[in-house]
Amino acid sequence: MYLGERYVIIIKAYVYNYLTIIGRFAYTDYALARAFRLRNLSNVFINCSYDSACSYSVKAPERFEEKIPDMKDVITTVRFSIDSLHVNNHQDKCLYVFGACYQDCSGHFHGVGTEQYWSENNQMGPQTRQMNPGHRHDKINEHHSFWNWKKVTRLGEF
C-alpha cells in the first residue's frame, strides 16, 4: 500500500508457490487482493503504481472476476500508473496513459518511494542467509514491522 511519497507502508501479502500454475500475473493478483482485504476501502481512492501497469491492467478485471470474484468491484475502481523512474523505458503511449504526470489529481506523485525501501531491506540478506525458514520469516517480518513503525511515528513531523 502506498500512502504518499513519505509514507510507504509495507503490507505483508502471503502468496504460496502453487499460484505459479494459475497465470502470468497470479502472484500480483493475489498479493493485491490480499492488500485490499486488509483495509477498509470504502470511499478510498486507490492508485496502484506498478512497473508493468500497462500490461497488468489490461486484463486485471477479467482475471479478478474469474479467480478472485469478491474483489472484482474493487479492481475496477483502481487507477494504475507507472512510476516516473520506469515509465521512460516504456513506449510513448505508456507515458501518456500511465504516467502520473498526465493523470488527474496525482500532483507530483513520482511513485518511486517504494523503491527506497529495498536498500534498507537488502541489509537483511546476509543476516538471514544462514537461518532456517521459520526464523528467517520471523526476522523479515520484524524488519518490516520496524520499518512501518518508524514511518508511522514520524508522520506528525511533516
- Is 0.85 surpassed by the pTM of this model? no
Specify burial of residue 81 (Cβ count, 10 A radius: 0-12, 13-18, 19+): buried
Count CB-CB contacts under 10 A for residue 78: 19
pLDDT score for 81: 86
Q: Which residues of the chain have pLDDT under 70?
A: 1-23, 107-108, 110-115, 158
pLDDT score for 153: 86
pLDDT score for 20: 45
Per domain, the residue ranges of the chain are: 1-111, 123-158
Closest by alpha carbon to 124, among 135, 112, 114, 111? 135
